[in-house]
Chain A
Amino acid sequence: MTQISENRTPDAEPVEMLLNMGPQHPSTHGVFRMVLWVDGEKVVDVEPHIGYLHRGSEKLCEGEQYHQVITLFDRLDYLANFNNEQVYCRAVEKLMGLEVSERSEYIRVILCELNRIASHMLFLATMGLDAGAMTPSMICFRGRERIQALFESVSGARMMHNYFRIGGLKEDVPDDFVPQVRDLLKLIKEDTDESDRLLSFNEIFLARLKNIAAISAEDAIDFGLTGPCLRASGVDYDVRKAAPYSVYDRFDFDIPVGLDGDCWDRYYLRVQEIYQSVRIVEQALDQLPDGEVASSLGRRLIRPPAGEVYVRAENPRGEIGVYLISDGSDRPYRIKVRPPSFCNLSALKLMMKDCWIADAVVILGALDIVLGEVDR
């Protein structure tokens, strides 16, 4: 027999059932656990439990030398490795007052934007799966696979690249990089188009996602949402535009914004962002300068001056912040990461007010969390 929960509040009617969703559940996107109080099919309350993937990354960073920390940042948001590497490298560079060569900045931007596309493609795939459509996931995975093949040819690894270095890159990109990326962009557009035609405006999909978990701009800001989840609510905030870093101020691109702040907006915003990222990469390829990229610091022990920096960047999931304290030794004294998924997850309770069980899955999917980053 099912077990009826203890009354949550003393005066509540004992009509609610406690439903444990996760940590082993196909659509909690990793090892995430939601305890749902359900009244029939309606979700009354939700309590998220995190920490199943806690590896103590921030503490581990304190024991590693500066260039070894890059490997740990690869494993935070494991769907946006380049973006994470970039923000860490920028933090150390800022601390040391290093100038990075033009070419390596451009290559970093190209790779980061491609990684954003790959991450968003995975999002489209899982969103389709959460709503019950299988085919878009295959189409999007095909696109992501192509991007990862490119990453492999550049950095030697498909996911944990360890390619960016403090002050530059590990080595220059292969000779045929530019034509390869141009071909890739064409295919990416095709793949996105195909999955867009198949899924985005499908009536059932719309009925499942539209007007689900709509949150207002004020709420979104209050909860500290960033990235697509914030922009879906109509707030025009993107670190790439608001506080341009690297060479982002040289590109012409739009920040798509949603209006209603519901799940469908969060979904469709990411589709649009893929096209914007394609635009950025195209421009970056056109402008790509020649020059030296390899970092002279790669092999040497780095001892940045004592001090602290905070650096932020726009990850596929939102604004990531790295707070780094150095005491002048060869290892960071403390690194604190502000992970976008973690902050976005805080709005879960608000979003899941009075939704259906089926919506709970979709809402969590549209938040697009990566547990490696939430738990760290």
Chain B
Amino acid sequence: MFNCLKGMLVTLVSTMHGLRQPVTRQYPDSGNLLGHHPEPTPVKDRFMGFPALTWDEDVQEPFCTSCMVCIRQCPTQCMSSVMKDNPLHEEGKSSRRKIVDSFEINLNRCILCGICVEVCNFDAIVMTHEHEMSDFSRNAIRVDLPILLENGLKFQKETGWIPPTQRAKVQKGGDAAAETTAAGTET
């Protein structure tokens, strides 16, 4: 009896709490004229959305050399790609001898595991924050190179992406610099 009444008190209190601050977050938009509600939860920095290919701004070409490492490592075998000789390399603008000709990811099958990103040696693939790609037809999100690059470029712009290897180099360089200064102060 008393615990029942206590329970009713709990719901009452949480209602008062709820009147002040419901935990619901609206999606996709937030509120209307009469009530403004919290924004949809933003994705976290490390959020793994659909994979996409990155774009090398310096050379204006994809990072991907179509080396097939990620394709072999993908647990669901949802990717495929074709390689070609890089015309920009022949012109001497790019250091990549080979480059991706076509690339397809069947996002229906992708399980967003992130293994492809981990194994790529060329910083060519990223897990974007894109997660709203539902469609009515079954094969609508088998995406090919242009869409992958577009998604990747969007992600790069949004997050100010720096290629991980470059970032590691910068960090290492910073460490080395710090070491040298430390050494300098010692001597």
Contacts and interface: CB of A to CB of B under 8 A. Distances in A.
Contact of A71 (B3, B6, B46, B75): B75
B38 interface: no
A235 B108 CA distance: 46
A23 B30 CA distance: 37
Interface string B44-75: 11111000000000000000000000000101
B111 A160 contact: yes
Given A139-B14, A203-B4, A299-B118, A65 B44 contact: no
A194 B14 contact: yes
B118 A170 contact: yes
B118 A197 contact: no
A352 B32 CA distance: 51
A71 B115 CA distance: 9
Interface string B108-140: 000111110011000000010000000000000
B48 A197 contact: no
Contacts of A142: 23
B1 A203 contact: yes
A298 B10 contact: no
B7 A202 contact: yes
A152 B111 contact: no
A149 B46 contact: no
Given A64-B75, A198-B11, A156 B114 contact: yes
A155 B119 contact: no
Contacts of B23: 142, 145
Interface size class on chain A is 20 to 34
A251 interface: no
Q: With a 10 A CB-CB cut-off, give which of B43, B45, B48 has the most chain A CB atoms.
A: B48
A181 interface: no
A71 B111 contact: yes
A157 B23 CA distance: 21
Interface in A175-208: 194, 197-199, 201-204
A142 B14 CA distance: 13
Contacts of B111: 71, 160
A197 B7 CA distance: 6
Interface in B1-36: 1, 3-4, 6-7, 10-11, 14, 23
A161 to B, nearest CB: 9
A299 B6 contact: no
Interface string A298-337: 1100000000000000000000000000000000000000
B44 A152 contact: yes
Nearest to A135: B11
A64 to B, nearest CB: 6
Contacts of A288: none
Contacts of B45: 153, 174
A297 to B, nearest CB: 11
Given A68-B73, A139-B14, A152 B46 contact: yes
Interface string A120-156: 0000000000000001000100100100010011111
B115 A202 contact: no
A67 B11 contact: no
B166 interface: no
A149 B41 CA distance: 9
B113 A203 contact: no
A213 to B, nearest CB: 22
Nearest to A139: B14
Contacts of B41: 149
A205 to B, nearest CB: 9
Contacts of A204: 4
Interface of B: 1, 3-4, 6-7, 10-11, 14, 23, 41, 43-48, 73, 75, 111-115, 118-119, 127
Interface of A: 64-65, 67-68, 71-72, 135, 139, 142, 145, 149, 152-157, 160, 162, 170, 174, 194, 197-199, 201-204, 298-299
Given A162-B113, A197-B6, 4 more contacts: A135-B11, A157-B47, A201-B6, A299-B118
21 contacts: A67-B115, A68-B115, A71-B113, A71-B115, A72-B75, A149-B41, A152-B46, A156-B44, A156-B46, A156-B114, A156-B127, A160-B112, A162-B114, A170-B114, A174-B45, A197-B10, A199-B7, A201-B6, A202-B4, A203-B3, A299-B118
